[in-house]
Structure 1
Amino acid sequence: MEFIDQKNQHIKLRYCGPNEEPTGDHVLGLTQYRNKLLFTKHRKRGIEFPGGKCEKGETSIEALSREIYEETGGHLEVAYYIAQYTVTNAQRVFTKDVFVCVVSALESKQDYLETEGPICFSTIDNIPPQNKSFLLDDPAILKCVERMMMLGFYST
């Protein structure tokens, strides 16, 4: 499916199956911990799912595990590849692999880099609007959350 997001960027989203190989240069983890959704609080944007760029030579799963740990202190137990979307704007094109993730433990850290660490909610709707990142209103991310629920990975 294709659409224009709130930043006027062209988005092309496709759902993926378990046998497909992730090929993106960014990752996003729809992360769960103890039957709640696990988010991170970005210092500028607010509360959002963990994710980021793949570093040189890093697979999507390696990047996902690293980003979840850096941003939440979470230890990735399992990840299911469910979608990929490409963002095109005037400056660049990037592709994001989206995973449903289960975190086995949260480790308290001194530094969560660009975030303030982990925060859990039962649903996105429970996040106070003034604390919510614009990314949680992004149509591609919301479609991926719908997909996660449709596949039975999470229910409210």
Structure 2
Amino acid sequence: MALKEKQIRVATITLGVVGIVLVGVILFNLLKDKFVSASNIAPKDVAISKITQTSAKVTWTTDSESQSVIEYGTSPTSLTFFAPESTKTKSHEVELNLLTPETTYYFQISTADKKFSNGGVPWTLTTLGESTISPTPPTTTVSPNPNETTTPIPTPSDSIQSTPTPSG
């Protein structure tokens, strides 16, 4: 009887350990996206392009797919506007719209409850100023039509004079 009790005890412990490992693996797979390493979602190659008077585009990449939000504002300590991405990706692109002309904006990138900046300070961009160039009037150029023939129109001269040549 003692041998059978030991076998039951070993089997129970083995099943318990296997069960705990199995639950751990399942929980890890369910929660792995919640505990993403900051280095995998840290923005790389942040670039600002297509700056106009009222908009700008911000692009960056990450090592793993993530969905981010750009937090921005006109003061580095008050980033009160938000521009979210619509999907998870490794190549990120966010358009900032409805900006004020000739204004400096500060922004940081927020991903999975982690905030990323440019070495501890927000990135900056400045929108273009109002255009002061007056518009030029439209010009029209006329090109010759290759199918059209032109006939020269003779121009009358004031007078035709003949100069007599001396004969000799």
Please say whether Structure 1 and Structure 2 have the same fold, judged by a TM-score greater than 0.5: no
**1 or 2 for the larger relative contact order (CA 8 Å, sep ≥6)?**
1
TM-score interval w.r.t. the shorter chain?
under 0.3
> TM-score, with normalisation over the residues of structure 2?
0.21
Larger of the two Rg values belongs to structure: 2
